[in-house]
Structure formats: C-alpha cells, structure tokens
Structure 1
Amino acid sequence: MTKWLVSTALALSLASPAVAADYQPDPNAKPGGSITITYKDDVATLDPAIGYDWQNWSMIKSIFDGLMDYVPGTTELRPGLADSYEISPDGTTFTFKLRPGVKFHNGREMTAEDVKYSLDRVTSPATQSPGAGFFASIKGYDQMMDGSATSLAGVTVVDPLTVRVELSRPDATFLHVMALNFASVVPREAVEAAGGDFGKQPVGTGAYKLAEWTLGQKLVFEKNADYWREGVPYLDSIVFEVGQEPIVALLRLQKGEVDVPGDGIPPAKFVEVMGDPAQAARVVEGGQLHTGYITLNVTVPPLDKPEVRKAINMAINKERITQIINGRAKPATQPLPPSMPGYTEGYAGYPFDVEGAKKLLADAGLADGFETELFVMNTDPNPRIAQAIQQDLAAIGVKASIQSLAQANVIEAGGAGTAPMIWSGGMAWIADFPDPSNFYGPILGCSGAAEGGWNWAKYCNKALDAKATEADSITDPAKTEERMKLWSDVYMGVMEDAPWVPVFNEQRYTMKSERMGGADALYVDPVSIPVNYDYVYVK
C-alpha cells in the first residue's frame, strides 16, 4: 500500500472510451454475517455533499456511488455508475454513458437527470458544500457561486443514460473529482422529502443502505440486495457503535466483541499491542497520502519574514517528534508525501540546525527571539507533540505559548487567521485523491487563504498559483512527466517561501478481529478511508 500508481495521472487524458480493469472478488469470501465497528464520536452527517471527515467518508462511500470509482484497496481509477466515458481531444468535454438498470435504495432507476441534479446541488451555495470548489472547472461554476444561475451550464442530459460535462478549461484531475463522495448521485425526491435532513435520511445507489440510526448510540447499515455490482457486498449488515472510548474498543476487540476499532490503535497502547504477537498479528499497516505540518501565518509579524520561517524549519527536530508517536511516521522534507506523484526525490529539506536557525533570526533583527502562540488539538498525542515543538523553538529563543483546544476551535482559528502557528495533528491533510494538485489548492493556494479556508498559513504566491493552473491544464498522457515536473517546481517554490514546517508522513495502523476476511489493503484503503466495507467479509 505504500507504492502508488503514477499511472493514475495517465488515466485522466484518454481521448477514447475507457474502462478500467475491474476488481476480481475474493474467491474465499463467504456472504452473510454482521460486523461491529466502534467510534468515539457520533457521525455528523451521511449527506455526500456535506460529509468531509475521515469518520463518515467510508460510510458515505458505501451508501452512495459516483460516475467514477477506484479499484478497491488502490488508487487506480475505474468507472462507477458510468459504464464508459469519452474525452474530447482538447480534454474539456467528458461524455459519460451510464449503467442501465441501476436502482436507488427507494427502488427508482437512476438516470442522467439524477447526475445533473446532483452536480447542480453540490455546487449550489444553498447546499454549503465544503467540496463545491472541486467542481470549479465545470462551465457555469462561477455563475452558480455568484447566484446568477441555478444550474451548471456545462452539464447536459443527452438522453436518459448519457450525460455530457463541459469544462471551462482542461483539468487533469477531473475524473478523480468524479470519484469523490461530493460527486455522488442522489435522487431529488429523497433530498426534497428529507426537508434539509438528508444527512440523516440518506438514499443512494450504494452497496449498503441505512436501516437504523439511534443518535449517540449506533448506526446500522444493511445490505442492498439490488446493488448493481455483482457479488458484493458480502456482509448482511454493519453496526457502527458510537460513544466508545478507543481504549475500551481495543479491550472489546480482544474479547471478540468488536471487529474494527474505527479510531485506530490508541497511541498509549501501541507499543503494548505491537509487543504482543497475538495482537500484532491482527494489526494492518498501510501508507497514506498524508503530511503532518506546522503552519506559519505569513500575515503575522515576525512570521511575515521568510528568514524567520526558515529559522523555525531548521529548529524542529523531526526525528524526535516521530518517536513521540512510536515511530509510526517518517520525517517529511516537503508538503507532498513520498507516495504522491510529483514528489521531489532527493530533496533534503531544511536541516535540523539550531545554530543556523539562530543566525537566521539574528539576520532578521531578532537575535533575542520573540513570543508567539502555537495552536494544537487537545487530543493525545498532539499536546505532547506541541510541547516538543515548544522546546525546540525555545532553543533558538522563540517563546511559544501552547493553545490546546478542541478540534473545531483550532480549525476556526486557522480559518480566521488568528493563529500564528498551528500543529496540524489530528487535522492534517490526507489527500482527497491521489494527485499533487489536491495538496496545493485547498491548503497552500491563494483561494484556500480566504477566511474560513484550510490554508492556515494565509500564504498566497500568485506566480505559483499560475504554475499550478498550468500543470493542471496538461491533459495529454504523453506529457505526464512534464506535468509532474511543474508540480515539483511548485512545491520547491513553496519550500523556498517556507509557510510550513513539514514534520512527518504518518503510516496508518488499524486492527481487525480474527474472524475478519479480505485483503489487508481493504482495511487501510487509500480512498475509502478508513475501511472499504463493500469488500470485507466474515470468515
């Protein structure tokens, strides 16, 4: 799972009908049975246009489908509700042929009208979708945003099983966008009947449908007997128990009462679990498109000086921080994780050099250091990581007071631009899709620096933005190498400006009970985070 397919970037530019090789079901899989998953927190929503956290992502993916999908356990694109697709030679028109006979959970057959309605809905300001910006390349998006249109001009229903999407510019990531939860196809009548509560009454075409939801206690998914993919899902039902402390969930797994602890292995128990052969045998490890970082707000003095930001990069002992999480990560040198296309091989990043950092501060007129604030999410191990960062900064004369807050409060401060520094742990970026553009626009691009955005460094380099747009306009598969070189240049430009301290690239660890079957990759699925429920089974 740590080897990603650069070919995912190639699959975006085919100018003829394309169908990916499909997944071969596990010959050992047995249908039937129920499994129990635990989470500490309740689920906020199951509306695919709204849900955007690691907890509900795979749940939503099991209830809904989009035109595109990924081969389970990989980052390889395949058609979903689209039976096939064609792309115009200039890369701006996508024509999708839909699978016939696909039914929503309410029994109605899905048509091209549902695809258009769903794309109009996710880009409507009234929906307040955090994923609306992913669709910015579709013609008419700007008019939807400013309220001058109520429908995307670029999405046309050709016939009941054909939909055409026209872009205002070539977009090498568009098929990945069509595989996001935000692009899920929903039935208008169910959305309208829910009266604003579709997130609690979801209706999709997915492998499972919601059977029960007792707030604060549990959600029950049951198998969709009419699912359009033959042979799956295997399970009859899935029970998601909420309000379970991670340590209690681990104890229950050891007793056979829980099949997957959704919150993972508690940090405080990690060494104990890995030291016990019986427990370690049930641990699944996988890579992820993730970087943990410190944001440096470039609008707050003295962090507005590049040499100060570079000094902070040189002050942080990343090796020591990885030990705080029991070595479950590798030190990072740049924003992109190593498994992402566009990663710059051989780039060493800023060295850990306390004396060099002090000199940079002195050159900036801050030989005596300065005072600042470091915001951090208040769940373990993040406060401990913040303390290590605080100690490293103190060694160069920077006195950082720690503001340890609930996740929502840290996100709010980051979006508002009131936090000078933020340790991203527990909120760090995991790519929505396996392409370097997804690590830039939302968290480093000028658009993400707007109030409420996820670019907490409030960093905006318009020359790099232009280069990023140039990279994503390259859709010719013969020029993939050129596109990735542009992306490498973008991230090297970011590192020269130093709005971040990239700290580590974390591995994912989870556990499964002895009775769970299916490839390990399904339990650390890179896009159905955290688990691909459609393909796991009970042995």
Structure 2
Amino acid sequence: MLHKRVARARRIALTGLAGALAVSMTACASERGQDPAGEGQTGGTLVFGAAGDPKNFDPIFNDDGETFRVVRQIYDTLITYKPGTAELEPGLAEKWEASNEGRTWTFTLRQGVKFHDGTPFDAEAVCFNFDRWHNMKGAAAQSQMIYYGDIFEGFASNEGDISGDPLYASCEAKDEHTAVLNLTRPKGAFPDAFGLTSLSMSSPTALQKYNADEVTQSGDSFSYPAYANEHPTGTGAFKFESFDRAAGTITLVRNDEYWGQKAKLDKLIFRVIKDENARKQELISGTIDGYDYPNPADYQTLRDAGAQVLVRPINNILYLGINQANNPKLQDVRVRKALDHAINKELLAQNKMPEGAKARDQFVPEEMNGYTNAVEKHEYDPDKARQLLAEAGAENLTLNFYVPTEVTRPYMPNPPEIAGAVSDDLKAVGINVQMVQRPWNGGYKDDVQKLGKHDIHLLGWTGDYGDPGNFIGTFFGREKAEFGFDNPEIFNALNAADAKVTDQAAKTAAYERAAVLISQYVPAVPLTSSPPAIAVKANVHGLVPSPLTDERFNTVSKG
C-alpha cells in the first residue's frame, strides 16, 4: 500500500492533541521582525536546561533521551511523526511503499535536500547509512545494540556477545531519488520504526572524513570518534556549533538551508543542570527558558511564577525489573508474583508520580492496541505476597535493588523517592532490600542491561512509535541480561506477532496473546504510567509536547 500522510488504524489514541497542548501564539516586535506566520518574534536564543550530559551526537550510538533531544534538532529520518501525535508523516521520504509481503520498502525521497556540509541527500546517501549500520563490527556494533540491534536483529558479522539472524539484506539506489530497502523477512515494527531517531540520516562525506566508525572499548566503556563528538552532520533545522564540556553547554545554530519549516530561533543552547531543583530555580529566575520533566510537586509553583507547564499524553511504562539469573529464588514464579502483589501501585501513582499517572497491570499502555483485560492480574495484597513467599520457601529473601541517580525520566521523575516507596512495600512483606544506587550515565544502565548485576531494578520505557512490539517486544522478545530468563513460548509468541505486517487484526490478537503469557510468567512487574511535562517561560511559543518526547524546536519562538 502506498503511503503519504498515513492515518493508521492501529496507531495509539494520541492524535488530535497538538491543538489542545500547543502554546498560544502572540506576535511581538523583534530586531529581525515578525515571523511569517505571526506566531511571535523570530531570531534570538533559547536556553533549555538539560538533566544530563549527552553521550555523543551520532544517532546510531545512542539510546538516551537527553542526547536524543539534541540529536533530533540536527538530523532527520526518512519518516517522521506528526507533531503532538504518534501518527506517521513524510520526513526525508515524501512517500513509501511496502511490497513482497513487507520484505521490500521503496522510498521516494525529497529533492533538493542537502546535509549541513553541502553533501546532497539522495538514494546513495540513504543506502550508505543502512550499509554502514549493517556492516559495523567490534566496539561500534556493541555500542549500538539498543535500537538497531533490536530492530534489525543482527549484523553482517556478529561478534562477541552479538547474535541473531540479520533482518537487513541490501539497499539499492534505484535512481537518484528512489531508495529500495530489502529485508530478509517481514517486520511488524515497520514503517513506524523508520522514524526512530537512531535511524537518522548522516552525511556520508562527514562520516568518512571524521572516522565515524572508529569506536574503541575499554572494559564496559566506549570512546567515540570525532564525528560523534565534534562534527555531527545531518539535514536538520539546526546545525551543530559546539559542545563545551566544561561549561556543560551544547550550542546549535539555525540552518538557513533547511528543506522544511526553517527555525525561528538563531541559536538553541542546551545547558546541563543536573539538579532538578536547580533547573526549576533557574527557570523561575529567567536564566533558562525551559526544562523537561519538572517534579509533579512543582507544577503549581511553576505556574504561580508565570511559567507554562505543558503536559504530554501518556505513552510510557515504569517497571520493577527482575533478574532471574542473578538470584535462584527469583526463578520461582511464586516469588515473582509475590513481588507484584506486594507493591501498592495505586498509592505509588498517587503520591510519587505526576498528576494523571495510572497504576499498570501489564506492559502495553492502555492507550495502545495490544492492551488486553485478559492478562493475569496481581492486585495489591500483602497477605497473598507473604503466602506465596512461604510456599516458595523464600520467607527470608534478600534482594539487591539497583536504583538510578542523576536522572529524571518521563516515567520516573524521582528514582530514589520511587525506589523508597517500592522498597517499603517489599520490606512490609518480609523481604530484606539492599538498595544500590548508581549514576544513570555512570554505570547504571550497563550494570542492569549488560552485566546483570542486580536482583531487581527500576527502569522504564517511553514509546518510540505506536506499536505494542515497541514495548513488550523490546523488553521480552529475546534473552537479555536485564531479566535473565529463557522462555521460548514468550519469545515465539512475540516473534509471531512481529511478523504480521499486513493483517492488523491478527497482529493485535497475537500481541494480546503474548501479553497474557507475559502476565502469567512475570519476568518483571509493571508499575505505573505517567504524563510527563515540559516547563517553559511565558514568552516561549510554538513548542508542541509529543507523546514520543519527539519535540522539535524549529517551530519555537520567543516574544
């Protein structure tokens, strides 16, 4: 089927919200004059408070929201999302077509687009990027497993702990403006996944000039080349100018040659302010223009100070991860169900999460196809939890509880506070909890996702696109160190659902079946979903909150 502005029957119920959430627009004078749409002044600089340092600026090597916020301004993807929704719309590809039962994707590309270094964006550039990702080896491949690895399931030469049958077969530049991507089998994540920030298009010229693939590894740490740190080159509305690590400032400048709606701002600066309270005080004092994920307890304080609190639609999940490989007691499903029964999720949502947060009994958000009331539910019941622990011979259970610090996530506004509430519930049923706090970008993700050091841990997910596989497929589609289990029935059910590309009813039913199996097995405990917010000054206009946290700043002005 040929796609232009796609209205998908299976998309999550998050559309139609842009108008309700967009900031009111007012025109004001400026030294550069009115913007063409009369939506506030053009020109000037906007300073946005970031919660942490970016990892680097090469999209393929990243999985972190703070990095993606910057990267999205520099790069574009073949397909993108309509502002304020998870609905697909054209990006660098004006249209796309699936054939051969979903094994072949043909992209008709925009004409006249150039990368920031002047390199033409064309079909050869598209294929260069896909070939680059597929042919990565060693540390470069190890470093990009989160998104590319999950979607494409392997590389041309799997090395180290990388395994899997690669989905990618080839890419052909049929002509200058037509790129044909060939897959080895259908993949239900497409076309949505073509909008993933990790799959943004980079300049082939810059990639080669600045040795983009020369990633080195020392222990669990990776070092990235000049392209990723100093010369990121996309087609986006802003161009990279500098990253002052000492000052913690990333500076982007307007791309006057942008193919789409040109940025209203001259400069966009992201300033790293790791303390959430400090970000709040700087916004109130006027030294920054906005920041993400304000503490829910501060919403009214910010409004009283004249700031705007823009609330996103819900599209995330917070969960208590369980590592069966690290603790034999956790291999007993009765123990895992006891953990679920022990936690008062309603109270957690009410007391520790943003206004509008919901308790969850499964990993597919209620707003998305694939959610089902048929899952096995484990309501809050401390007595039942104690009973199950006794039956399993785990009355004296001790668990190492890994908790991230120096981070604020959409699903997890204050990790230590949330962990404290969960820990209190577990202790109340007789579990001895030993909390281990690790910095988010200082070892936490490696400890839980790669090394499996934990017994239990806090983590979550914000949906990247409107497909249930982006949730339960990402979590439980294959064996992972994070969860430490091997369940072929669940893996096969998720693989079967992911292979259904054209029959959406069958795909939804297959994901519902997988959700039921997951609820019975309890590889982790779903906790809550939250509607995270962005706070900006009163004179900031045009920022449209996205359920995918996919905000673009080219529409933003100050006035």
TM-score by length of 1: 0.86
Distance 1:97 1:143 in 2: 26
Distance 1:6 1:371 in 2: 51
Q: Identity of counterpart residues, as a percentage? A: 25
Q: Using a 3 Å threshold, how does the CA distance of structure 1 residues 252 and 458 change in structure 2: closer, same or farther?
A: same
Instruction: Name the residue aligned to 1:15.
Output: none
Do the aligned residues in 1 keep the contact of 2:284 with 2:302 (CA within 8 Å)?
no
The gaps in structure 1 that reach 5 residues or longer are 13-20
How far has the Cα of 1:514 moved from its partner? 0.8
Instruction: Name the residue aligned to 1:221.
Output: 252
How far has the Cα of 1:168 moved from its partner? 1.2
Do the aligned residues in 1 keep the contact of 2:81 with 2:88 (CA within 8 Å)?
yes
1:342-357 map, 5 Å: 342-345=370-373, 349-357=377-385
How far has the Cα of 1:461 moved from its partner? 1.9
Distance 1:326 1:528 in 2: 17
The gaps in structure 2 that reach 5 residues or longer are 26-36, 212-224, 407-412
Instruction: Name the residue aligned to 2:458.
Output: 423
3-state DSSP of counterpart to 1:38: strand
Q: Using a 3 Å threshold, how does the CA distance of structure 1 residues 98 and 92 change in structure 2: closer, same or farther?
A: same
1:63-462 map, 5 Å: 63-88=74-99, 90-123=101-134, 124-126=136-138, 127-128=140-141, 129-130=144-145, 131-136=147-152, 142-145=155-158, 153-195=169-211, 196-200=225-229, 201-217=231-247, 218-229=249-260, 231-243=261-273, 245-262=275-292, 264-265=293-294, 267=295, 270-274=296-300, 277-279=303-305, 282-299=308-325, 300-325=327-352, 327-328=354-355, 329-345=357-373, 349-366=377-394, 368-379=395-406, 381-407=414-440, 408-414=442-448, 415-424=450-459, 428-447=460-479, 449=480, 451=481, 456-462=482-488
Instruction: Name the residue aligned to 1:532.
Output: 552
Do the aligned residues in 2 keep the contact of 1:112 with 1:159 (CA within 8 Å)?
yes
Instruction: Name the residue aligned to 2:530.
Output: 506
Task: Tell me the alpha carbon deviations over residues 349-386 of structure 1, each in whole angstroms, 9 at most, x when there is no partner.
Answer: 211111111221222233x3322221111358322322
Instruction: Name the residue aligned to 1:16.
Output: none
Distance 2:376 2:168 in 1: 45
How far has the Cα of 1:345 moved from its partner? 4.2
In structure 2, give the amino acid aligned to 1:274.
Answer: Q
Q: Using a 3 Å threshold, how does the CA distance of structure 1 residues 248 and 142 change in structure 2: closer, same or farther?
A: closer
In structure 2, give the amino acid aligned to 1:224.
Answer: N
Instruction: Name the residue aligned to 1:18.
Output: none
How far has the Cα of 1:134 moved from its partner? 4.1
Distance 1:99 1:242 in 2: 35
Distance 1:463 1:278 in 2: 53
Instruction: Name the residue aligned to 1:480.
Output: 504
Do the aligned residues in 1 keep the contact of 2:97 with 2:106 (CA within 8 Å)?
yes
Distance 1:238 1:327 in 2: 28
Do the aligned residues in 2 keep the contact of 1:122 with 1:183 (CA within 8 Å)?
no
Do the aligned residues in 2 keep the contact of 1:216 with 1:242 (CA within 8 Å)?
no
Distance 1:11 1:250 in 2: 34
Instruction: Name the residue aligned to 2:214.
Output: none
Distance 1:487 1:378 in 2: 33
Deviates more, 1:354-363 or 1:342-351: 342-351
Q: Using a 3 Å threshold, how does the CA distance of structure 1 residues 393 and 213 change in structure 2: closer, same or farther?
A: closer
Distance 2:421 2:167 in 1: 50
Do the aligned residues in 2 keep the contact of 1:62 with 1:207 (CA within 8 Å)?
yes
3-state DSSP of counterpart to 2:252: strand
How far has the Cα of 1:281 moved from its partner? 5.8
Do the aligned residues in 2 keep the contact of 1:445 with 1:460 (CA within 8 Å)?
no
1:467 equivalenced with 2:493 (yes/no): yes
TM-score by length of 2: 0.83
Distance 2:302 2:179 in 1: 54
How far has the Cα of 1:111 moved from its partner? 1.6
Task: Tell me the alpha carbon deviations over residues 449-470 of structure 1, each in whole angstroms, 9 at most, x when there is no partner.
Answer: 1x4xxxx122332122212122
Would you say how many aligned residue pairs link Structure 1 and Structure 2? Answer: 503
Q: Using a 3 Å threshold, how does the CA distance of structure 1 residues 107 and 409 change in structure 2: closer, same or farther?
A: closer
3-state DSSP of counterpart to 1:41: coil
Distance 1:534 1:345 in 2: 41
How far has the Cα of 1:482 moved from its partner? 2.1
Distance 1:278 1:398 in 2: 43
Distance 1:458 1:525 in 2: 33
Q: Using a 3 Å threshold, how does the CA distance of structure 1 residues 412 and 213 change in structure 2: closer, same or farther?
A: closer
3-state DSSP of counterpart to 1:117: helix
3-state DSSP of counterpart to 1:302: helix
Report the RMSD for the aligned CA atoms in angstroms: 3.0
How far has the Cα of 1:310 moved from its partner? 0.7
Distance 1:73 1:49 in 2: 24
How far has the Cα of 1:513 moved from its partner? 0.5
Do the aligned residues in 1 keep the contact of 2:166 with 2:184 (CA within 8 Å)?
no
